[in-house]
Structure 1
Amino acid sequence: MSELTVIDGATVVTMDPDRTEHSVGHVVVEGSRIRSVSAGRYAPTGEDVALIDGTGCVLTPGLVNTHHHLYQWATRGYAVDATLFEWLTALYPVWGAIDERVVGQAAAAGVGRLALSGCTTVMDHHYVFPRNGGDVLGAEIAAAGDVGVRFFATRGSMDLGRSDGGLPPDHVVESIDQILGATAAAIDAHHDASPDAMVRVGVAPCSPFSVTTDLLREAARLARDRGVRLHTHLAETLDEDDFCRERFGQAPIDYMESLGWLGPDVWFAHGIHFDDNAIGTLARTGTGVAHCPSSNARLGAGVCRTRDLLDAGAPVGLGVDGAASNEATSLLEEARHAVLFARALGGPTALGVRQALEAATLGGARLLGWADQIGSVEAGKQADLCVWRMDTLVHAGIADPVAGLVLGAPPPLDLVLVAGRAVVRDNHLVRVEESALARGAAEASERLRHPAPVG
């Protein structure tokens, strides 16, 4: 029989269908799953348990990140005052030198930081595959496994280089045949559709201005054939809108719909510049949006219409985005910024603190097609849990602990469990040494700033 762990005496925010909250409650974990969630203190039953005192804490579902680029941890601090296209133009030549060692080191640091912000499921969109770079996708999957988080890897791609009218330099693009073959191989090697999966894989061409129409069409066909999900950037900037209208004669959402890129198995990153018609289309088709407020603000791209998307019924989750456009890399901070930016535009009722926390948990799980297993604290679901300490100086005495969690400074984490196993304890990583991650990140950054001469 699996050992029982009981987290007792915490405020429990479940995100279950009734959005139940217990001001004092307890959660019983058996193995990798939640056995029960109840109000009040735990009453011993005679079973052997590992009892964790949650007094003064808030227990929530683990946070779910729905858009990221882990390799960018090695290029933080570049082009800090640039627009998106200026930023990409400055960084593509640097990213062209990444390899599996750099990506592994960057990913380990990035995943570690995400875990320390309460993130238990990390989605990554990796689309830069330099020639002779090695197995960069495998490197980040291994890094996530070392830290101990659940991982959704998407095999990205670019086949529209600068010489063909795209944005990326030619040396970082691949042919369609290379892309489709490598994507199918990644699904075969890493995708686990089982209920206990720790790694899943999706199909993710980069963006309309870096891939061809043929690639988008064939990628959608491959994903549906293999039963995996589809992801790409869309409606991030007005420049992208102009590009789609000039090149394809359509708005971005209409272009993607013409290629079979809408449906409940699809989610788009950013979605800032969707008009009313596009929002209605997203809701009608069940297509999701990964809202990345900090990155969007850092690049001056705009603010996603989160309230309108939710009112229409479109699925919404939160994403940190790459560390080179969001150096803080904190998923909890994204919930705070989602609230603040929505209210700055739409007033004090534009987005509630519980709606933001839902987007960071159950909403994200829905985007990844994982809501049957993660995203809420319910009996039978995976024990992906965060225990936030709310009785320190910065939070003690706050009337609404959820408001404290979302609007206040990030609280320390007493415990983070993924599949019932500790990943963070006492605000430190458990399974990896943080100083080693920092050394690796510094080495990766140095290698990209001063690459070794060729030959």
Structure 2
Amino acid sequence: MEITLIKNAEIVTMNADEEVLCGDILIEGDVIAGIGKDLQESRAHRMVDAGGRTVIPGFVQTHIHLCQTIFRGRGDDLELMDWLKNRIWPLEAAHDEESVYYSAMLGIGELIQSGTTTVVDMETVHHTDSAFRALSESGIRALSGKVMMDKGDEVPRELQEATERSVMDSLDLLDKWHNYDGGRIRYAFSPRFAVSCTEELLREVARLSKERQIFVHTHASENRGEIAIVEAETGMRNVVYLDHLGLANERLILAHCVWLDEVEKRIIKEKGVHVSHCPGSNLKLASGIADTKGMLDRGISLSLGADGAPCNNNLDMFQEMRLAALLPKPFHGPTAMDARTVFRMATIGGAKAVGMEKEIGSLEVGKKADLSILNLEDFHTYPMHGVDPISRIVYSATRADVESTMVGGRFLMENRKMNTMDKAVVLKEADVSIKRLIKRTPVLT
């Protein structure tokens, strides 16, 4: 069992008291065995001097599309439905096993470099096994699943599924990958959204989720056009419809929720549904600004995600935290969303969304050693005297300040060097892959 001792750090714990300590972290295997001053461990295989450094819980991003990372820059300046129909769906339809793998590795590399240790990922219809292979090799923690789509006249033929086939393929992946590597990777049913899924499919997902106790990850109420389509087809708003089908419960993660009415907010709160706020994506696609203050005031479970690279265009939690903190202020005042609230959403809030708050999301004895080491000794983060360390992180720090990232006691990146992937190969093959996909995509050639 590998034993690591991190010495002399500023430690942002995010425990129940949100303590910030100065001291050491002892890691035995994949868990934190001790936090305190002047820890000594003669059995330690390695000592990391973190003097002048800040150690934080690894970020938990609750809405990501790794299969879209190589589409970065291909869907700029469009609104949601045009973005999907004219760019993203045609490109997803062109994917092959290799392109999904390198798209996932490209995204994972960016996530690790910017301090994210856990993701909730939604893949495309096919080749999802390649994405799971990337997740397994990279060492990141993930809740992921193949996207499910069995409806839509404007969906490319390659993405159109029969309902039964969609379910069978999802179950095959679940049986293969759920709880892989001691639970580091778990499966989530991932119906894309109500617009592209039949009622039959959504009801079956609700049944299987209950039977297997598996999370469901989908989009809802991102865009007013999307809501109008669902209302025209079902006579109900998005969240009301999902509740009607039996999906609204503590296993449901809803991305976006920009346009909720009071009834939908009540359902989300009462049923324990989790909302993933994606401010960067919502701004870039002109979808709107979610009422995060209103959600938090109601006690709704709220976390953060960057969404996909072609609608953001990065996967950087530091940018998402800053946007999440700033956006409510013009509407509700400067204290509407303080730095600690946002940092909570990015860490322990994300852990709660994936049902892992007893394992990740804070630095505490007995929890998984998922953490990042930041170097905040720079012009843009000084002076530090008398400044709340969490405010420094949310309002001043950037992803370039992340020196090392650890998942389960293993450094995936150490001193900015990637340990679980060859960066040069990933960059090269990602470029090769997107060139190949574009040649297969008539709307882009």
Which of the five TM-score ranges fits, normalised by the shorter chain?
A: over 0.9
Separation in structure 1 between the aligned mates of residue 396 and residue 271 of structure 2, nearest angstrom: 36
1:408 alignment counterpart:
396
How far 1:397 sits from its partner (Å)? 2.2
**Partner residue in 2 for 1:32:** 30
Match for residue 296 of structure 2?
310
Pairwise CA distance, 1:209: 0.7
Match of 1:149 among 134, 140, 148: 140
Task: Give the aligned partner of residue 126 of structure 1.
Answer: 123
Alignment map for 1:35-434 (pairs within 5 Å)? 35-38=33-36, 41-44=37-40, 46-48=42-44, 50-91=46-87, 92-129=89-126, 136-162=127-153, 167-192=154-179, 196-398=182-384, 399-410=387-398, 411-434=400-423
User: Residue 343 of structure 1 contacts residue 350 of structure 1 at CA under 8 Å; is this kept in 2?
Assistant: yes
Distance in 2 (alpha carbons) for counterparts of 1:438 and 1:327: 16
Distance 2:25 2:41 in 1: 14
1:133 aligned partner: none
Q: Which moved more, 1:41-50 or 1:428-437?
A: 41-50
The TM-score with structure 2 as length reference comes to 0.95
Corresponding residue number in structure 2 for 1:132: none
2:36 matches 1:14: no
Residues 48, 372 of structure 1: alpha-carbon distance in 2 compared, 3 angstrom cutoff: closer
> Which ranges of structure 1 fall in alignment gaps of 5 or more residues?
130-135
- Is the CA contact (8 Å cut-off) linking 1:128 and 1:157 kept in structure 2? yes
CA shift, 1:46, in A, is 4.4
User: Is the 1:413–1:424 contact (alpha carbons within 8 Å) kept by the matching residues of 2?
Assistant: no
Q: Give 1:99 deviation, angstroms.
A: 1.2
Instruction: Return the alpha-carbon distance in structure 2 between the equivalents of residues 401 and 433 of structure 1.
Output: 33
* CA deviation vs aligned residue, 1:304-352 (integer Å, no higher than 9, x gap): 1111111111111111111111122212221111111122332211111
Residues 224-263 of structure 1 deviation map (CA, whole Å, 9 limit, x = unaligned) = 1112111110010111221122111111111111000111
Change in Cα spacing, 1:45 to 1:449, as seen in structure 2 (3 Å) is: closer
CA distance in 1, matches of 2:225, 2:436: 32
Question: 1:439 is matched with which residue: 421, 425, 428?
Answer: 428
Deviation at 1:405, TM superposition (A): 1.2
| One-letter code aligned to 1:420 | G
Measure how far apart 1:449 and its partner are. Answer: 1.5
Secondary structure in structure 2 of the residue aligned to 1:445:
helix
- Whole-Å separation in 2 of the counterparts to 1:211 and 1:326: 25
Cα shift at 1:401: 2.4
Structure 1 position 396, deviation (Å): 3.4
CA contact (8 A) 1:412 1:426 kept: no
RMSD: 1.7
**CA separation of 1:346 and 1:379: change in aligned 2, threshold 3 A:** same
For residues 87 and 452 of structure 1, do their structure 2 counterparts lie closer, same or farther at Cα, with a shift above 3 Å needed?
closer
Instruction: Flag the 1:437–1:345 CA change in 2: closer, same or farther, 3 A.
Output: farther
TM-fit CA distance, 1:402 = 1.5
Is the 1:123–1:153 contact (alpha carbons within 8 Å) kept by the matching residues of 2?
A: yes
Aligned to 2:146, the other structure's residue is in SS state: strand
Question: In structure 2, how many angstroms separate the alpha carbons of the residues matched to 1:118 and 1:97?
Answer: 31
Q: Which runs of 5+ in 2 are unaligned?
A: none
TM superposition score normalised by structure 1: 0.92
- Secondary structure of the equivalent of 1:123? strand
Residue 45 of structure 1: CA displacement?
5.2
2: CA distance, partners of 1:124 / 1:448: 21
Deviations 1:68-120 (A, max 9, x none): 11111121112311110111111122221111111001110111001101011
